[in-house]
Amino acid sequence: MDAFFTLTACFIYLAVALVLLIAEAFIPSFGVLTIMAFIFAGASVYSAFHVGAYTVGYVVLIAVVVGFPALLILMFKNLHRLPGARRLIPPPPERNPAMTMWK
């Protein structure tokens, strides 16, 4: 297979992985989309190294190793702002002053 098409497939896999990871924040799939995103990210890294372009392979590997956890952390920190997540997260309990010992 031509190196251009394999390298193009590498970046298409990476884009699909990012879209799936972002979709996980909006569609509560309980981790199924995240697992699929990591499978596509692995395919992207494999495809980049399979071409023989080690520089591109290492760049994609670093992008996946650094970018995906950073994106997951950002998503979970801002989860309370998403409309779908508001239904999943219970509201904070109301503070009852009669239940406190000290006023």
Averaged pLDDT in 10-residue chunks for the chain of 103 residues:
73 94 84 93 91 85 92 82 70 71 59
Q: How far is CA 69 from the centre of its chain?
A: 7
| DSSP code string of 45-71 | HHHHHHTT-HHHHHHHHHHHHHHHHHH
Q: What is the radius of gyration, based on Cα positions, of the chain?
A: 20
pTM above 0.85, yes or no: no
Cβ contact 56:11 at 8 Å: no
Amino acid at 34: T
Which of 52, 66, 72 minimizes the C-alpha distance to 3? 52
What is the model's pLDDT at position 61? 93
What is the model's pLDDT at position 42? 93
What is the model's pLDDT at position 27? 82
